[in-house]
Amino acid sequence: MSLKNFMKKSVIVFSVFFLLMAGLSYSQVSTGKLGGTVGDAEGLPLPGVTVEVSSDSLMGTRTDVTSDKGSFRFMLLNPGQYLVTFRLAGFNSVEMSNVRVSVGGTAHVDVTMEIATLEEEVVVIADTPVIDVEQSGLTSTFRSEDLETLPLPRTRYGISSSLQMHAGFSDYNAFGSDSTQNSFNIDGLGASSPEGGSLRMTPDVDVVEEIEMITIGAPAEYGQMAGAVVNIVKKYGGNKFGGSAAIYLKPDFLVSDNNPLAGSQSMESVRWYDFSTQISGAIAQDKVWFFLYGNQYTERVIGWRGNPEFPSDRFKMAFELKVTGQIGTAHKISGNLMYIYYDYPVAPSAFITPQAADNSYFSKPGYFFNWDWQVSRNALFSSKMGMWLNPERGGEPRPGVGGSLFIAPHYDEETGILSQAPDRFNWWQNAKFTFNNTLSYFAEDFLGGDHDFKVGVQFTRGVSHVAKGWPGNAYYYDRNNQPDRMYSKYPHH
């Protein structure tokens, strides 16, 4: 099936399925919650307290009034630091600053308000002991400031490298599970590869606001996942207009090589440049925010003891645009466009001749759309849709050096040298379309406790087409520069 037909069928199925199932579905998370209780000095609950939250991460302010049990609750909060204010006539107001809300978490704060004894208003600045009483799993959180300071590679492996820091997770395996049992999500939508479960749509480190990773004790909505659950939330802008530019470089005049063999190179990466820029701000204050990002990466690599006349010039380009809007305080809408392109040629070396060095290039376009509707104080409806494509061509001969897909490769078992053509080629076509609807309801003091009920439906359609083979439909094993034996195989899917 072609990607064009795949997209058409996916959109048709989505349209029909949405009409049938609108209102109920399954979802991952891209926001957090904040709740708690308010009492007086004697420990009795205080109903009627006006609670207000504000933050640079929030459009406008949100207010709630404590119930007869003194409880309050906020949903649909972007990850970030919040200021929480408590006011009630006859009591001193209380302010709690730097309350951290994380993706997928519920920050819980308990406040005690004192009776006012003076005519003027007194604002009490309280400590902020925040706990998450709803999170019981083994969880790690990486925020944008963490990712900026961690020694992560400035490549497509930056995000996956940060995940290796979580206990029990290594090479996409969590506590013995394989990669197909993981759930990778970007802004609440599935981003796992359809054929292997790895993170296929890998965003750049610079666009990530927060990463939540759970390996043990994930919520029930991830019941089919025995591995890791990773929720990635991208940056969304703010009311303040701003931007930044950064360049990371390793110019060739800072690289030396003490290899005594003339005409050969022992250092692989001889230079690289990484330039990125981002701009964010408000199209309309407290109504529409945007985040725009661009990146270009170039690197020159010479293989071990390779010929400097045949370097490998690698190239990467990335683009991101995310727009977030809010209608009143009940509706939040966001859309994200992303595009990544890689050109990744293999560098000839002492064991790979220029004709056998292959070239790989692939692109990754994608879009994501979210709509969240806070139906009531305790009810939330979410609808999410997204699609990404990943066409990739690998193993093709580098242009201008004489290699060909019609010439069979030769591998000399005496010297270990691969010559005449790349040892394989593979053409990939990966694509994934996902949408989900979720209705969740927080039931307070129900069946002896507080419960968060969630019901929903998720539809996912993925395709992974692979064509593999040997150039020339054959593979030669040589000894002393002479063919010893040959294997033949035609391309297969």
In a domain, 272, yes or no: yes
Closest CA to 194 of 433, 464, 8, 387: 464
Q: Which two tokens stand for residue 300?
A: 């020159």
In a domain, 380, yes or no: no
On whether both 218 and 306 belong to a single domain, the answer is no
CA distances from 67 to 101, 330, 373, 390 (A): 22, 20, 22, 50
In a domain, 447, yes or no: no
Task: State how many domains the chain has.
Answer: 3
Picking from 75, 102, 126, the residue at the C-terminal end of a domain is: 126
Query: For the chain, how many residues are written?
Result: 493
The bridge status of strand 482-488 relative to strand 50-54 is unpaired
In a domain, 207, yes or no: yes
Phi, psi of 179 (to 5 degrees): -65, -25
On whether both 146 and 228 belong to a single domain, the answer is yes
On whether both 256 and 336 belong to a single domain, the answer is yes
On whether both 101 and 177 belong to a single domain, the answer is no
On whether both 226 and 243 belong to a single domain, the answer is no
In a domain, 16, yes or no: no
Q: Which two tokens stand for residue 322?
A: 């995310």
Q: What is the pLDDT of residue 213?
A: 83
On whether both 122 and 143 belong to a single domain, the answer is no
Picking from 313, 329, 350, the residue at the C-terminal end of a domain is: 350
Picking from 350, 370, 387, the residue at the C-terminal end of a domain is: 350
Q: Which two tokens stand for residue 124?
A: 């009490």
Strand partners, 192: 199
Distance between terminal CA atoms of the chain?
A: 12
On whether both 201 and 256 belong to a single domain, the answer is no
In a domain, 41, yes or no: yes
The bridge status of strand 229-234 relative to strand 208-216 is antiparallel
Residues of the chain with pLDDT under 50: 7-8, 11-27
Q: What is the pLDDT of residue 13?
A: 45
Please, how many CA atoms are within 13 Å of residue 120, restricted to the half-sphere of its CB? 3
In a domain, 20, yes or no: no
On whether both 48 and 115 belong to a single domain, the answer is yes
On whether both 185 and 195 belong to a single domain, the answer is yes
The structure's pTM equals 0.82
What range does the domain containing 307 cover? Answer: 236-350
pLDDT (tens digit, 9 = 90+) per residue, 127-185?
A: 555 555 555 567 778 888 888 888 777 666 777 777 777 767 776 777 777 777 788 88
Q: Which two tokens stand for residue 186?
A: 């970007």
In a domain, 426, yes or no: no
Q: With contact defined as beta carbons under 8 Å apart, do 55 and 85 qualify?
A: no
The CATH number of the domain where 49 resides is what? 2.60.40.1120
Name the region of 79 (left: φ>0; alpha: ψ -120 to 50; beta: rest). Answer: beta
Q: What is the pLDDT of residue 51?
A: 95
On whether both 157 and 249 belong to a single domain, the answer is no
pLDDT (tens digit, 9 = 90+) per residue, 56-89?
A: 999 999 999 999 899 999 988 999 999 999 999 8
For residue 190, how far is the Cα from the chain centroid? Answer: 10
The CATH number of the domain where 144 resides is what? 2.170.130.10
On whether both 228 and 240 belong to a single domain, the answer is no
Q: With contact defined as beta carbons under 8 Å apart, do 325 and 349 qualify?
A: no
Closest CA to 410 of 469, 475, 352: 475
The bridge status of strand 123-126 relative to strand 93-101 is parallel
On whether both 196 and 273 belong to a single domain, the answer is no
